[in-house]
Structure 1
Amino acid sequence: MNDITAESPVSSFVPGGRRRHRKAKQSSAGMRRAIVLALAVPLTSAALAGPSAFAAEKGIGTTAKDTASGQTLDESDQQMVTNLQTRVLDQRLGSNVSGVVLDAESDDTLWDHNAATALMPASNVKLATATGALTVLGPDHRFTTKVVYGNSTLTLIGGGDRTLTSADLAELATTAVAGLKAAGLTSVKVAVDDSLFPAPTLANGWNTGYYPDSVAPVRALVVDGHGVDDTSLDAGQVFAKQLTAAGVTVDGTVARATASVTDVPVARHTSAPLSDIVHKMLKTSDNNIAETLLRMTALGAQRPATFEAGAEVVRQVLSVRYGVSLANFEMYDGSGLSRADRIPAATLAEILELLTEARYADTLGSILDGLPVSGEAGSTLGPEWGRFDDVNSKCAVGKVHAKTGTLTGAIALSGLTQGKDGKWKVFSFIENGSTANPNDIKDAMDGLAATVNGCWA
């Protein structure tokens, strides 16, 4: 299973001292047009295979030894590199490990261990999903759930809000009941319309064993994050019970239907802004939010709400908008549950480095704020998950901001921390195939992050 836990807020932070050589920022409207136009042109394998100029400039794909040559590392960075070269060989991590550390101020790659090798990234995929959603839809975007009336039926229409609660439905029901009673109606049928998304399918790399605990079949309507096979009918049943409690008789059972354009609008609920939803998704590594956002991102770029179209849009955002290298990048879902996903540590580091640029703060700031913090209760780096609690890594509690990733046979940790020199470092570590106990693997990963921080010198 991917890492899932409860949400906990965290105060924001902004790394400073930036200089960059990336593309100039486009307006949101211009960016959306560019992505839509780019998607209209088939991508060639050659275009996706070549590393970006940024990757070449960083020296990504070289070894730690090669990276260090020609650079003058200060004492603390040299010690970090020396320690990483030893600690990445920890037997708990196995033999299939990749990693990279970038200096966010100088643009230098300080350390590289097989960073261009594409490995199964688990929930680190959510970093790409969040970047795509925030860029295409905008951080202030809100999702709308509607109720309409026609042909003696109240239809609850899903709008892709994976954070809809029973309290939100209760407000919709209250408004609907008031309208019915004002019209002299005491009974009604109830239907749900989740046609915003096509019928659920399995992503490449998924199996039916994921349903409904690791992820629910992806539909446009859900209430209280219920992990059930049909979240739309479930939401409709909750809504029907609320109508009954308010004195309206519900005729028959809740059914799936498509609302008519002639139906009368009755009530609507808008979600919190996307920035808040992304924050929650990352803190708790919520697979269901991630998969819903992937579909809404596709729709925002005028593409079908499918795994394939969503992943294609994310690729375009990363490469066209931000110049991130897509060499060896394979993404088949939004959550990272797919065992077919492959992303190099170098690419994850490039995505994270965007967060250190002031010009992207308005768009991507909720990713930065949403990264779990080492030792933060309620997040996937909290003590309840045994993170940053051993003799080597506990010194880094409160100092590491990173996205976790956990699948059987794959553990990842990618984020930011201030080094011993006070400068922000971007790092990504991924292991695949270790046979050690997963908790021991995570301890080793936490130790690598503490090494980057410099507290484990």
Structure 2
Amino acid sequence: MADASPDSFVPGGSRRHRRPGQSGVGLRRALVLALAVPLTSAALAAPSAFAAGKGVGTTAKDTAPGEGLGADDQQMVTNLGTRVLDPRLGPDVSGVVLDSASGRTLWDHNGATALMPASNTKLATATAALTVLGPDHRFTTKVVYGGGTLTLVGGGDRTLTGADLAEMASTAVAGLKAAGLTTVKVAVDDSLFPEPTLANGWNSGYYPDSVAPVRALVVDGRHVEDTSLDAGQLFAQKLTAAGVDVDGAVTRATAGAGDVPVAQHRSAALSDIVHKMIKVSDNDIAETLLRATALATGRPATFEGGTEVVRQVLSLRYGVSLDHFEIYDGSGLSRANRIPAATLAEILELLTEPRYARTLGSIREGLPVAGEAGSTLGPEWGRFDDMNSKCAVGKVRAKTGTLTGAIALSGLTQGKDGKWKVFSFVENGSTAEASAIKDAMDGLAATVNGCWA
């Protein structure tokens, strides 16, 4: 499948919303210090006037083909102006197309309207996590021993596997046997994150199918009510298989300051975790990263702490507009979230800038490619497979978003003129079948690419 190489993103020109910044460790330290202080702007601290149940905001009329646009862009703008009125998209639809080299808005259809973005929210979550924690950050799960108890200590690794537990169990057993111990109690410590709760705007039925309760300890991504005890029970089984008896049931405890470290597992780099999260739209990873990002700035590991950091990173670090921006979780499951298409496009535009490539590159590389099996734009989901959009297979990278009553598609593609375009399309409330809405939206992306001329 044809795909864009990272080196092909070499935009130039001006930026409407960029602020000069540092890079590397110095940036992360400065950002953590900046985010550790209370918000000073009432505009950032207070909720906007856009109520959770309403998709309203400042609207803009469609941008007509303007002077200075090339013939290809003029044709794209004309086609979008017609195709955005497709009845399948419904009356509550917004869209924006930017030229990545100049930062110019090529087309805008109600782009400032605040709509429910569904999983496009993950673009904001990932940007904040990579900026605050750094792409090389790894999550550590530990095993400590004290008072006859092995305690499995969760470190927020949402990718921990049974094989990782088996390896830690083997290391721990070797140490126990060397000390002449053949029986041990087992406990789990998931105190890194506070007790899980439902986010504002979550359907109570989301637990534990669409998202597991957010805890600092989970194994194999299992969707059970208590992922920590579940992981501890599997760890106990691994200990028994390795030749150490486990005394009693697994309990929840807090590791003592004097407990001795006996084993640990470090996750893959955050860049790899974000890549996976974006590619398959993993809700659990998103919610875990939201909490880890909050902790890194000294805030409580809560929905509120995490979303506050997301807002500050986008606004203070990158200069992204937060007009009418409201989020209450990291995954986009919240039906109270509101993000304008214009803001989503600004976030994606960061991915076209070489200076942010190391920090944010895993978001860009994780964006599903049209027709890519195993991603949310794969043929198994019926994406880019109709007569109008199939020409864009392999040519569009985009983050999907799907909730009942909300479908979004935001990404990057090279236009017919060979220049990179950033686009975001969001609809709320269409009464058409979801598959029909997605076909219409895929057609808009193919229009931006220019293959559907």
> Is the pair's TM-score, using the shorter chain for normalization, greater than 0.5?
yes
Cross-structure match for 1:63: 61
Asked if 1:332 is matched to 2:325, the reply is: no
| Distance (whole Å) between structure 2 residues aligned to residue 212 and residue 451 of structure 1 | 38
**Residue in 1 aligned with 2:409?**
413
Checking the alignment, whether the CA contact within 8 Å between 2:31 and 2:132 is kept in structure 1 is: no
Q: Would you say the 8 A contact 1:39–1:313 is kept in 2?
A: no
Alignment CA distance shift 1:243-1:87 (3 Å): same
Query: Corresponding residue for 2:430?
Result: 434
1:394 and 2:400 are equivalent in the alignment:
no
Indicate the residue corresponding to 1:13 in structure 2.
Answer: 6
Q: Is the 8 A contact 1:156 1:191 kept in 2?
A: yes
Preserved CA contact (<8 Å) 1:35 1:313: no
Deviation of the 1:73 alpha carbon = 1.1
Change in CA separation of 1:43 and 1:92 when aligned onto 2, cut-off 3 Å: farther
Contact 2:63 2:106 in 1 (8 A): no
Structure 2 counterpart of 1:252:
248
Deviation of the 1:47 alpha carbon: 5.5
Amino acid at match of 2:6: F
Counterparts of 1:20 and 1:42, CA distance in 2: 29
- Say if 1:35 and 1:316, in contact at 8 Å, map to a contact too: no
Aligned partner of 1:308 among 304, 307, 324: 304
State yes or no: 1:218 paired with 2:214: yes
1:41 to 2:38 alignment: yes
Match of 2:276 among 277, 280, 284: 280
Q: How far 1:61 sits from its partner (Å)?
A: 6.0
Q: Which amino acid counterpart does residue 16 of structure 1 have in structure 2? A: V
* Amino acid paired to 1:158: G
Corresponding pairs, count: 439
The CA distance in 2 between the partners of 1:223 and 1:11, in whole Å, is 34
Task: Pick closer, same or farther for the CA change 1:146–1:35 going to 2, 3 Å.
Answer: closer
Quick one: percent identity of the two aligned structures?
A: 75
Q: Which moved more, 1:369-378 or 1:33-42?
A: 33-42
**Could you tell me how far 1:31 is from its partner in structure 2?**
4.3
Q: Give distance in 1, aligned partners of 2:237 and 2:35.
A: 47
Amino acid at match of 1:187: T
Q: Per-residue CA shift, 1:247-303, capped at 9, x if unaligned?
A: 111010011000001001000000000000000000010000000000000111111
Distance in 2, matches of 1:107 and 1:164, equals 40
Amino acid at match of 2:447: T
8 Å contact kept, 1:375–1:388: yes
Deviation at 1:36, TM superposition (A): 3.7
Match of 1:289 among 268, 275, 285: 285
1:124 to 115, 120, 125: 120
Q: Is the 8 A contact 2:44 2:311 kept in 1?
A: no
Aligned pair in 2 of structure 1 residues 191, 19: CA closer, same or farther (>3 Å)? same
SS of equivalent residue, structure 1 residue 403: strand
Give the equivalent residue in structure 2 for 1:365.
361
Structure 1 range deviating more: 16-25 or 117-126: 16-25
Note the residue ranges of structure 1 that are not aligned, 5 or more in a row. 1-7, 52-59
CA deviation digits over 1:381-439, x for unaligned, max 9? 00000000000000000000000000000000000000000000000000000010000
Matches within 5 A, 1:169-180: 169-180=165-176
- Residue equivalent to 2:51: none
Residue 198 of structure 1: aligned partner: 194
Alignment of 1:162 with 2:158, yes or no, is: yes
Structure 2 distance, partners of 1:422, 1:392, is 20
Contact 2:146 2:259 in 1 (8 A): yes
From 109, 112, 116, the equivalent of 2:108 is: 112
Separation in 2, partners of 1:420, 1:207: 42
The answer as to whether partners of 1:148 and 1:259 remain within 8 angstroms in 2 is yes
The answer on whether the counterparts of 1:402 and 1:416 sit within 8 Å (CA) in structure 2 is yes
The one-character-per-residue Cα deviations of 1:355-405 (angstroms, maximum 9, x if unpaired) are 000000010000010000000000000000000000000000000000000
Instruction: Give the alignment's TM-score, normalised by structure 1.
Output: 0.93
**What do you get for the CA RMSD once the two structures are aligned?**
1.9
Please tell me the residue identity of whatever aligns with 1:291: E
Q: Structure 2 counterpart of 1:111, which letter?
A: W
Secondary structure of the corresponding residue to residue 314 of structure 2: helix
Q: CA deviation at 1:20?
A: 3.5
Code of the residue aligned with 1:148 in structure 2: it is: V
Residue pair 1:12, 1:369 contacting (<8 A) in 2 also = no
> In 2, are the aligned partners of 1:115 and 1:346 still within 8 Å (CA)?
yes
Contact 1:374 1:397 in 2 (8 A): yes
The residue aligned with 2:337 is: 341
Deviation at 1:348, TM superposition (A): 0.3
Aligned-partner SS, 1:65? coil
* TM-score, scaled to structure 2: 0.94
